[in-house]
Amino acid sequence: MIAAIVMGVLGSIAALIGLQCTKVGGDNYTVKGRIAGVGGVLYILGGVCAMVAISWYAFNITREFFDPLYPGIKYEIGPALYIGWCAGTMAIFGGLCLVCSCKLGSSDKYT
């Protein structure tokens, strides 16, 4: 989950640098588009990391709940896991939108 947070923060920084309305990174829109694409890839990786961590925890909860020999406290799947799954899915879709919208063509301007 920490890896997901780190990738999300790095993706946010890259996406902010890749915005065409910012002056950070110069006026080369091709480079800015590629930086935004990298931000999208980082969002996708962060979403996948979050989904793996949340699903793994849900699997452990379910396995321990149905184990009759488990002596500890038996937890149930709660709303936090559903919120985490939704957040991971939204991060993946947001990253896909950034990747699909990045400008990879030449930087020729119309005259």
What domains, with CATH codes, occur in the chain? 2-101 (1.20.140.150)
User: The pTM is what?
Assistant: 0.84
pLDDT on residue 70: 84
Give the tens place of pLDDT for each residue, 33-68: 888 899 999 999 999 999 999 999 999 999 988 888
pLDDT at position 11 is 94
The per-residue DSSP string of the chain comes to -HHHHHHHHHHHHHHHHH-TT--TT-S-HHHHHHHHHHHHHHHHHHHHHHHHHHHHHHHHHHHHHT-TT--SPPP---HHHHHHHHHHHHHHHHHHHHHHH---S------
